[in-house]
């Protein structure tokens, strides 16, 4: 399934489950949670993200399980491969821009839910990256922006996620050393 198909399919699932969150925001929240070292499994990740679907058994939905498994595998093997889930590239910027903003908002929320003790050990660069993501989350990327600008922001977000993950891993190691 392509990313464009995945966004549409996940949007349908979330609507059916009355999740109260859109596909990009959910993907961002899970990405932020896992990036910050959050511990979850396929049966409890929605609860850990404080998302309560209006339908029981939502975590058993194959589309949701697939999203969880794929993002978790990407963080375990190559965080640089984590890409925001957005409407397809052929969609107008007035759909993709706001979706990227929502993804960043979700990412920061998920990151905050999981950061815990390791956040005290994050270097200034990580704090700056989080601030930059916060600026994106507080903007309005819309159809009046151009493709090149959008692509630059998207590339920054992807790089930022990989760098943050590396910083979190180092911070977790430092926190573990300080406990012993």
Long-range contacts formed by 47-52: CB under 8 A, 24+ apart:
48/113, 48/114, 49/109, 49/110, 49/113, 50/113, 51/19, 51/20, 51/21, 51/26, 52/20
Q: Is the dihedral of CA 137, 25, 22, 12 positive or negative?
A: positive
Cα 1 to chain centroid distance, Å, stands at: 19
Q: Report the distance separating Cα 138 and Cα 156, nearest Å.
A: 16
Query: Would you tell me which CATH number, out of the four given (1.20.120.740, 2.60.120.380, 2.130.10.10, 1.10.3720.10), belongs to the domain 3-179?
Result: 1.20.120.740
What global pTM score does this model have?
0.91
Asked if residue 119 lies in contact with residue 171, where contact means CB atoms within 8 angstroms, the answer is: yes
Note down pLDDT in tens along the chain; length 180 residues.
566 588 999 999 999 888 889 999 999 999 999 999 999 998 889 999 998 877 777 777 888 899 999 999 999 999 989 999 999 988 899 999 999 999 999 999 999 999 775 676 788 999 999 999 999 999 887 656 688 889 999 999 999 999 999 999 888 787 777 655
Q: What is the pLDDT of residue 179?
A: 59
Residue 83 CB coordination number (10 Å): 16
Supply 1's token pair.
């399934």
Asked if residue 116 lies in contact with residue 175, where contact means CB atoms within 8 angstroms, the answer is: no
Where do the domains of the chain lie? Answer: 3-179
Q: What is the pLDDT of residue 4?
A: 59
Q: Report the distance separating Cα 32 and Cα 108, nearest Å.
A: 6
């Amino acid at each position: 399934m392509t990313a464009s198909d995945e966004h549409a399919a996940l949007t349908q699932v979330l609507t059916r489950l009355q999740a109260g969150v859109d596909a990009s925001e959910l993907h961002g929240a899970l990405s932020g949670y896992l990036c910050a070292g959050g511990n979850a499994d396929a049966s409890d990740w929605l609860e850990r993200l404080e998302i309560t679907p209006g339908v029981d058994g939502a975590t058993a939905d194959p589309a949701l399980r697939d999203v969880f498994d794929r993002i978790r595998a990407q963080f375990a093997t190559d965080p640089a491969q984590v890409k925001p889930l957005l409407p397809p590239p052929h969609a107008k910027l007035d759909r993709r821009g706001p979706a990227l903003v929502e993804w960043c908002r979700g990412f920061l929320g998920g990151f905050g839910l999981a950061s815990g003790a390791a956040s005290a050990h994050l270097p200034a660069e990580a704090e700056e990256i989080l601030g930059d993501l916060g600026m994106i989350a507080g903007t309005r990327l819309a159809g009046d922006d151009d493709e090149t600008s959008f692509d630059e922001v998207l590339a920054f977000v992807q790089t930022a996620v990989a760098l943050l993950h590396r910083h979190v891993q180092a911070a977790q190691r430092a926190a573990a050393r300080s406990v012993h």
